[in-house]
Structure 1
Amino acid sequence: MKVKKYVAANMTEAMKKIRAELGNDAVILNSKIAHTGGFLGLFKKRTIEVIAAADPKPKYQQMPKVKQKQMISSKIEQNDEARNQVLQNVSAAEQKPSGEIVKELNELKALLKSIPAGSVSASPSYPAPLQLMDKLLKEQEIDASIQASILSSLLEKWYVEGASASIEQVYSWLEQEMVKRISSVSFGGISFSKKYINVVGPTGVGKTTTLAKIAADCVITHKKKVAFITTDTYRIAAIDQLKTYAKILNVPLEVCYTIDDFKKAVQTFHDFDLVLIDTAGRNFRNKQYVEDLKQVIDFDEDMETYLVLSLTAKQRDMEDIFTQFSSINIDKFIFTKADETSSYGSMYNMINKYNKGVAYMTNGQNVPDDMIAVSPNNIAKSIIGVE
């Protein structure tokens, strides 16, 4: 087993050094804040010293990944054995080299002996409160790279604050960190900066119901003059559904089969404040679907396009859907069916991966209720599970 001390300006830098040299399976045995340099006790530089260890040739190297994880977990749980093994290896190594290497090994041995037995936990890189955050992010299916980056920032914060904070404080740090990482993109509902709002997406995600909710909010709350256009001519039921909503809200509806129909509808509604466009939901794996949309809708108009995704879908499927629609300029996401799942990490992953914000999130079928305009804060709160 290889063991080494790392000195860095902060925990983030230390973790980078450890991963680069020892790999992702390295175990953090100990860490502490130190102050070096200075003059007459003043102007000392703050650093972090971290003791890390790793087996350069792990026995599970050629095993299947599932088996590897089981062996790693089993090994980490044997805290005292791992600690004692490191001490034995250090003692053995002392017999061979000399000079500066012996000095460093003696220093490492002293540090290792100072680590209390049983202190290496199942998540050795993180203190107990941060282990809870680690578990939460895993359960919410946050992408592994995003999760590692977030925990690295929290770990640095932990030591900056003196390695002492309540669970409530750590939850607050996590929320702040998650919000910060997505605050650079645009969030929120319709701003009325564009006249045409187009919703696209696969079948079954609730595009028509969501469009009705948006229309109701614009008519009732914002007192806007609203109209509907539908290009969903593949399902008669879809047209009837939108006609029902149009009648209830007392807004006009035009059905468009071709690009000429669309242009005529645009002319008909030239004096309206907002025109909401419904599209057919079809198999997203069929590339022809997106091409068909371009044959009916003029995307050069003063238009915003929202991609509607269900939170009950797999992350991989969401990514495939986005790829299929990437030839259309997607402005924001709308996530539906938040009431049908307890995992919201895919929403955060999509925002990070594609640098797109979220307009709305829906959590039920009731019109005009069960819809909220989204901000980075309520995205983070949904994932963390706090109000």
Structure 2
Amino acid sequence: MSPRPRSTSRPGPRLDDELAAIRRLVGQVLQSSRRVEARSAQAEAPATTAGPLFDLSLKLLESQVSTDLADEVTGAVRDELGAGELADPATVRDATLRQIARRIGVVSTPQPPGKRADGRPSVIALIGPTGVGKTTTVAKLAATCKLRYGKRVGLITADTYRIAAVEQLRTYAEIVGIPLKVVLAPQDIPGAIDALADCDTIILDTAGRSQRDAARLDELGEFLRAAEPDQIQLVLSLASAESVIAAAADRYGALGPDRLLLTKLDEAVDYSVVLNTARRVGLPISFVTTGQEVPDHIEAASAERLARLVLDGGSAWQAISGGR
């Protein structure tokens, strides 16, 4: 028998996933190796370099802040402070918090936009992968717009793949007193916006898509083009592994988000992901969600508060959240 010809087809999705997992593992090993090298270099440094900044540098590394970012932060602190100030723990800590906060971009005016110049409602679209809590976040954001900022808010949901999600959002809308329209296709969007013409702001809930599903992401792009949103907020969960967040940010970046909305801050394993993600994605953070309750557990992002979480971890969360 003649030998069977070798297949020349592309690796299947399973092999692609395995290769991606291997690449992530290699990256984690290299990152861990760089941390060990950084600790060794600092340990072997002259005694004059030790002190509060040395301790905080190790703390950042142990908190899983990327080596490059930790070096950048401590280098900036060293440049900012004089020799005498570098010997004072409180001064060094304050400077470190400032440098971390400067690297966490936040939206300067989180208040949602009102009507456009032509009198039509502004549109805020929320996009993101499955499992990030997007529908609950839509309800929280809508309630915040109405109750905190006094906006007349309408909701449009295109998340018809999950009947439960539509019913969940409908229940929230009825409780808060917000009109809701359900659309099945991109061509339904203009009519839904017209039906909500009395609103100041419309929030568009979209179906969660796997970042690996290119066809579904293309379909999501069609919904966005039909809606012509004033804002596109990329929703990412801080409870996810950092590699998962990075992959989602890379794929959804093609849809043109202009800000981040970070969910499940209360479930984050470590808070370095806030700083690492902010640097990787390069978008300002608008809001963070801090629990399950609607509308209470959402707040405008504060670079200073997030910096405290990055530096102090769980102890800062207890202080900020009041132990909830």
Query: Larger relative contact order (C-alpha < 8 A, sep ≥ 6)?
Result: 2
Aligned equivalent of 2:214, options 261, 264, 287: 287
Residue identity opposite 1:175 in structure 2: L
Secondary structure of the residue aligned to 1:361 is: strand
Measured after TM superposition, the shift of residue 261 of structure 1 is 1.0
Match of residue 337, structure 1, among 261, 264, 269: 264
In structure 2, the CA distance between the partners of 1:73 and 1:271, relative to structure 1 (3 Å rule), is: closer
Return the alpha-carbon distance in structure 2 between the equivalents of residues 237 and 130 of structure 1.
51
Q: Shift in Å at residue 166 of structure 1?
A: 2.6
Q: Of 105, 112, 118, which residue of structure 2 is paired with 1:191? A: 112
User: Structure 2: where are the runs of 5+ without partners?
Assistant: 1-28, 117-121
Cα distance in 2 for partners of 1:66, 1:181 equals 20
Q: 2:159 aligns with which of 232, 235, 247?
A: 232
Aligned AA for 1:162? Answer: G
CA distance in 1, matches of 2:110, 2:39: 48
1:130 paired to 2:53: yes
Which one of the candidate residues 159, 162, 168 is aligned to 2:84? 162
Q: Which amino acid aligns with 1:220?
A: L
* Offset at residue 124 of structure 1 (A): 5.6
Aligned to 1:317: 244
Quote the residue 2:24 is aligned against.
Answer: none
Q: In 2, are the aligned partners of 1:257 and 1:296 still within 8 Å (CA)?
A: no
5 Å-filtered alignment, 1:1-387, equals: 121=43, 126-158=49-81, 160-162=82-84, 164-182=86-104, 186-187=107-108, 189-192=110-113, 195-298=122-225, 301-385=228-312, 386=316
Q: Which residue is equivalent to 2:22?
A: none
Distance 1:240 1:144, change over 3 A: same
Q: Which piece of structure 1 moves more, 261-270 or 65-74?
A: 65-74
Deviation per residue, 1:77-120 (Å, 9 max, x gap): xxxxxxxxxxxxxxxxxxxxxxxxxxxxxxxxxxxxxxxxxxx8
SS in 2 for 1:297: helix
Equivalents in 2 of 1:366, 1:256: separation in Å?
Answer: 26
User: C-alpha displacement at 1:70, in angstroms?
Assistant: 11
For residues 151-190 of structure 1, what are the alpha-carbon distances to aligned partners after superposition, in whole Å with 9 as ceiling and x for unaligned? 11223345x232653322211010111223345x634534
Q: Distance in 2 between matches of 1:71 and 1:363?
A: 33
**Contact between 2:34 and 2:67, CA under 8 Å: does it hold in 1?**
no
Measure how far apart 1:378 and its partner are.
Answer: 2.0
SS at match of 2:254: coil
Structure 1 CA distance for aligned equivalents of residues 51 and 171 of structure 2? 55
Please give the alpha-carbon distance, in whole angstroms, between the structure 2 residues aligned to 1:363 and 1:156. Answer: 35
Query: Quick check: 2:86–2:92 contact (8 Å CA) kept in 1?
Result: no
SS at match of 2:288: strand
Secondary structure of the structure 1 residue equivalent to 2:255: coil
1:243 aligned partner, one-letter code? R
Compared with structure 1, are the counterparts of its residues 65 and 358 closer, same or farther at alpha carbon in structure 2 (3 Å cutoff)? Answer: closer
C-alpha deviation, 1:285, in angstroms: 1.5
Residue 303 of structure 1: CA displacement?
Answer: 2.0
| Contact 1:262–1:297 (Cα < 8 Å) also in 2 | no
What amino acid is aligned across from residue 127 of structure 1 in structure 2?
A: A
Give unmatched runs, 5+ long, in structure 1. 1-63, 77-119
- Aligned residue identity for 1:142: V
Q: How many residues align?
A: 279
Q: Which has the higher strand share?
A: 1
Distance of 1:275 and 1:263 partners within structure 2: 12
CA contact (8 A) 2:158 2:204 kept: yes
The 3 A distance-change label for structure 1 pair 123 and 309 is farther
**Residues 157, 271 of structure 1: alpha-carbon distance in 2 compared, 3 angstrom cutoff:** same
Shift of 1:292: 1.1
Q: Distance in 1 between matches of 2:103 and 2:166?
A: 40
Q: Distance in 1 between matches of 2:253 and 2:36?
A: 42
Q: Show CA shifts across 1:11-39 (max 9, x none).
A: xxxxxxxxxxxxxxxxxxxxxxxxxxxxx
SS of the equivalent of 2:84 reads: coil
- 2: distance between equivalents of 1:215 and 1:321? 24
* Contact 1:230/1:277, CA 8 A, preserved across alignment: yes
Q: What whole-Å deviation, never above 9, does each CA across 1:260-316 have from its counterpart, x for those lacking one?
A: 211110111122101111111132211122111123333562420111111122222
CA–CA separation in structure 1 for the residues paired with 2:223 and 2:36: 57
Percent identity, aligned pairs only, is 29
Quickly say closer, same or farther: Cα 1:191–1:168, change in 2 above 3 A.
same
**Contact 1:309 / 1:336 at 8 angstroms: preserved in 2?**
yes
Q: Identify, as 1 or 2, the structure richer in helix.
A: 2
Distance, in Å, in 2 between the alignment partners of 1:67 and 1:378 is: 27
CA shift for structure 1 position 317? 1.7
In structure 2, the residue corresponding to 1:327 is in which secondary structure? Answer: helix
Q: When the two structures are superposed, what TM-score results if normalisation uses the length of structure 2?
A: 0.77
Judge which range, 267-276 or 235-244, deviates more: 267-276
Aligned mates of 2:251, 2:32 — CA distance in 1: 36
